[in-house]
Amino acid sequence: MEHVFPSDFLWGAATAAYQIEGAVAEDGRGSSIWDTFAAVPGAIVGGATGEPACDHFRRYREDVALLDELGLPAYRFSTAWPRVMPDGRTVEPRGLAFYDKLVDDLLDRGIRPLVTLYHWDLPQALQDRGGWCDRDIVRRFTDYACVVHDRLSDRVAEWTTLNEPFCSAFLGYGVGVHAPGLRDDGAALVAAHHHLLAHGTATRVLRERGGPGHRLSIVLNFSPALADVDDDAHRDAARRFDVLQNLFFLDPVLGRGYPDGLLADVAHLGALEPAIRDGDLATAATPVDWIGVNYYAPTRVVPLADPATPSNCPLPGLRGMDVLPPRGPLTSIGWEQHPESLTDLLVWLGNRCGDIPLVVAENGAAFADVVDPDGRVRDVRRVRYLASHLRAVHAAIGRGADVRGYLAWSLLDNFEWSFGYTQRFGLVHVDFATQRRTVKDSGRFYAQVVADNAVPAG
């Protein structure tokens, strides 16, 4: 017995510019906040940087050929703002030309491009002016979005403004484990608000510009809160975690404004309310055509007896709760494997998002893969992870969630942010010394799922 997906279900794989491109000084590319952050001693495991990553900037044809070999109908990638506008505002035609060639190559092979405009690599020149904490970023981002859209929208229909603003704002400006590495909860909230404004403004402007069949979206990350004990205190801790982790960005995009209790929970930081101006939440609520759902793992949350105790979870201002260690089996990055949470999440989102469809824009697992002497990568655990999560998506569709597609993270092993090159998420193994690509068993498994439009029963 297999689980068959709807006939128009969109299958593909995803990557992000900084994680794969390398060539950080090529063709006039400007410096990005990730170049700066990676140069800070101790910021990235092993002192790794975005060079050479997968050297995709030079090898993109080979990578598009891999997508084709796997039979993947869609490819989600991001454009690098510092390549297109090295100082954040002036267009570099050679940078733009790269994405032009990439899109043409994809289309030549019948692969549908999904463009994400911002996957965390802000031009350093804009960070020097405050980055996402400076309200002017909204105008800058919208200008950049228009430049890329003007160039590609005759061939690209699917546009995503931001990838995971949660990580960009909270991990970058609050926890400091992502670029630009600030540790300021108030700044994180202001940055988050400006992400929402930039998303809404760019969405409105791109909608006005139009394009053949074009559709606009935002991609958010979700980690459902699991309360181990079914009592009021645990349920309340899980609810408050959900508000910041899962609703902070979603609710404004859906036109619900900031979720109940949020402004009160972060009021002691004195940062968010002063940043909100009349009309901002209406802008954030500019309609989208689909919402991208990135899911990797749930979070186990417990209440703390003293409500004033700061939380150990990476959310600005949260108090009175703790995050428990994840439970096995874990992936190599230490994330819990819990496919049931993906089903529950998609069903819950389906209800909350009304008639806005969902696309799983990222899902995958890191394991310490090796190429065997016979040239195969036997990544049995990733095959199991993918199969169980694809069954979870299928189950959610069966329970009424309007899920239109699934994009595996990731096509290639790549630069995994602060983990450097130590976490391999690819369907394709990359030897970073030789840049040799080897399709893993999971890549072949996924190719079969796509060909069959079905996942085998467990």
Active site residue 158: no
Is residue 167 at the binding interface for ligand FCB, with CB under 6 A as the rule?
Answer: yes
Eight-class DSSP state of 426: -
For residues 163 and 286, which CB has a smaller minimum distance to ligand FCB in the complex?
163
* Pure H helices in 134-289: 137-152, 165-166, 185-209, 232-242, 250-253, 262-265, 272-275, 280-284
CB 362 within 8 A of CB 219: yes
Residue from 21, 158, 336, 362 carrying the catalytic annotation: 362
* Cα four-point dihedral sign 65, 70, 76, 80: negative
Stretch touching ligand FCB by CB under 6 A, among 85-93, 121-129, 160-168, 429-437 = 160-168
- Spell out the SS3 assignment of 77-142: EECCHHHHCCCCCCCCHHHHHHHHHHHHHHHHCCCEEEEEEECCCCEHHHHCCCHHHCCCHHHHHH
Q: Which of 116, 221, 223, 286 binds ligand FCB (CB under 6 A)?
A: 221
How many residues bind to ligand FCB according to rule CB under 6 A? 12
For residues 83 and 151, which CB has a smaller minimum distance to ligand FCB in the complex?
83
Distance of CA 388 to the CA centre of its chain: 21
Is residue 16 at the binding interface for ligand FCB, with CB under 6 A as the rule?
Answer: yes
Is residue 161 at the binding interface for ligand FCB, with CB under 6 A as the rule?
Answer: no
Residue from 158, 164, 336, 416 carrying the catalytic annotation: 164
Is residue 34 at the binding interface for ligand FCB, with CB under 6 A as the rule?
Answer: no
Is residue 418 at the binding interface for ligand FCB, with CB under 6 A as the rule?
Answer: no
Q: Which of 416, 420, 439, 442 binds ligand FCB (CB under 6 A)?
A: 416
Rounded CA separation 86/189 (Å): 27
For residues 211 and 405, which CB has a smaller minimum distance to ligand FCB in the complex?
405
Q: Which of 164, 242, 251, 413 binds ligand FCB (CB under 6 A)?
A: 164
For residues 55 and 416, which CB has a smaller minimum distance to ligand FCB in the complex?
416
* Binding-site string for ligand FCB from residue 107 to residue 146, where x marks contact by CB under 6 A and - marks none: ----------------------------------------
Rounded CA separation 9/427 (Å): 20
Stretch touching ligand FCB by CB under 6 A, among 162-170, 184-192, 305-313, 432-440 = 162-170
Active site residue 164: yes
For residues 165 and 259, which CB has a smaller minimum distance to ligand FCB in the complex?
165
Rounded CA separation 364/426 (Å): 8
CA dihedral 233, 235, 241, 246 (to 10 degrees): -170
Kindly provide the residue ranges of all beta strands, DSSP E only, lying in 230-379, ordered along the sequence.
290-295, 299-303, 321-323, 358-362
Strand order in the sheet with 321-323: 225-227, 299-303, 321-323
Rounded CA separation 323/330 (Å): 16
Eight-class DSSP state of 330: B
* Binding-site string for ligand FCB from residue 247 to residue 286, where x marks contact by CB under 6 A and - marks none: ----------------------------------------
Closest CA to 200 of 292, 117, 283: 283
Rounded CA separation 435/53 (Å): 9
Q: Angle 255-223-188 (CA atoms, 0-180°, nearest 5)?
A: 65
Count of beta carbons in the 10 Å neighbourhood of residue 136 = 11
Least separation in angstroms between residue 16's CB and ligand FCB is: 5
* Binding-site string for ligand FCB from residue 421 to residue 450, where x marks contact by CB under 6 A and - marks none: ----x-------------------------
For residues 167 and 408, which CB has a smaller minimum distance to ligand FCB in the complex?
167
Per the DSSP assignment, residues forming a β-bridge with 294 are 221, 362
Is residue 223 at the binding interface for ligand FCB, with CB under 6 A as the rule?
Answer: no
For residues 92 and 158, which CB has a smaller minimum distance to ligand FCB in the complex?
158
For residues 283 and 331, which CB has a smaller minimum distance to ligand FCB in the complex?
331
Least separation in angstroms between residue 453's CB and ligand FCB is: 25
- Contact residues for ligand FCB, defined by CB under 6 A: 16, 19, 163-164, 167, 221, 294, 362, 409, 416-417, 425
Q: Which residues are annotated as catalytic?
A: 164, 362
